[in-house]
Structure 1
Amino acid sequence: MAQEFVKAQIKGDKVVLFIKPSCPYCVKAKEVLSKYKFKPGHLTYIDISGRSDMGSMQDYLLEMTGARSVPRVFVGEKCVGGGDDVAALHSSGKLEGMLQSIGALQ
């Protein structure tokens, strides 16, 4: 069930973050992404903290991405890592190009 949910959320033209609201790295990733103008519906935050399948979802994210920590940030169908990774991509200028390449920006 968790696998199907994760797969259904990750689309080629969207940025998806699997987060927990209390996590400082999730807040960091959200702050970085708030600097960009996304087309409506192309940036999605999925709070996994209250979900009954949270453990299995994180296990699946581990299998997919090599880590089960949050945030897990997907640009299109590719995981770019967590909060520090997103901040580094932004600082280097690479994040904007990635967002443009999937057509997520206005």
Structure 2
Amino acid sequence: MAQQFVQAEIKGDKVVLFIKPTCSYCITAKDVLSKYKFKPGHLKSIDISGRADMGSLQDYFLELTGSRTVPRVFIGEECVGGGSDVAALHKSGKLESMLQSIGALQ
């Protein structure tokens, strides 16, 4: 069930963050991504903290990405990691080209 949910959310032209609202790394990832002009509907945050299947989701993240921590940030169907990873991609200039390559930016 968790697998179908994640796979249904991560599409080729979207950026999806799986987050918990109180997590500082989640806030970092959202802050970094807020610097970019996304097309409507191409940036989505999904709060997993209140979900009955949160444990299953995090187990699936481990299987899929090698880590069960949040945030899990997907650019298209590729997981780029968590908050510090997104910040590093932004700082290096790679994040913008990754976002442009999936057509997520205005």
Same structural fold, with TM-score higher than 0.5 when normalized by the shorter chain: yes
**TM-score of the two chains, using structure 1 as the length reference:** 1.00
Please state if 1:17 is matched with 2:17: yes
In structure 1, list runs of 5 or more residues that go unmatched.
Answer: none
Deviation at 1:79, TM superposition (A): 0.3
Alignment size in residue pairs? 106
Deviation at 1:15, TM superposition (A): 0.2
Tell me the residue number matched to 1:44: 44
Tell me the residue number matched to 2:88: 88
Tell me, in whole angstroms, the C-alpha distance in 2 between the residues paired with 1:2 and 1:46.
13
Deviation at 1:5, TM superposition (A): 0.3
Tell me, in whole angstroms, the C-alpha distance in 2 between the residues paired with 1:46 and 1:6.
10
Tell me, in whole angstroms, the C-alpha distance in 1 between the residues paired with 2:62 and 2:46.
16
User: 1:15-65 CA deviation, whole Å, 9 max, x = no partner?
Assistant: 000000000000000000000000000000000000000000000011000
Question: How does 1:1-106 map onto structure 2 within 5 Å?
Answer: 1-106=1-106
- Alpha-carbon RMSD: 0.3
Tell me, in whole angstroms, the C-alpha distance in 2 between the residues paired with 1:35 and 1:13.
18
Tell me, in whole angstroms, the C-alpha distance in 2 between the residues paired with 1:46 and 1:68.
15
Tell me, in whole angstroms, the C-alpha distance in 2 between the residues paired with 1:11 and 1:20.
21
Q: Report the 3-state secondary structure (helix = DSSP H, G, I; strand = E; otherwise coil) of the residue aligned with 1:86.
A: helix
Percent of residue pairs bearing the same amino acid type = 80
Runs of 4+ with deviation above 3 angstroms: none
Q: Which amino acid aligns with 1:59?
A: D
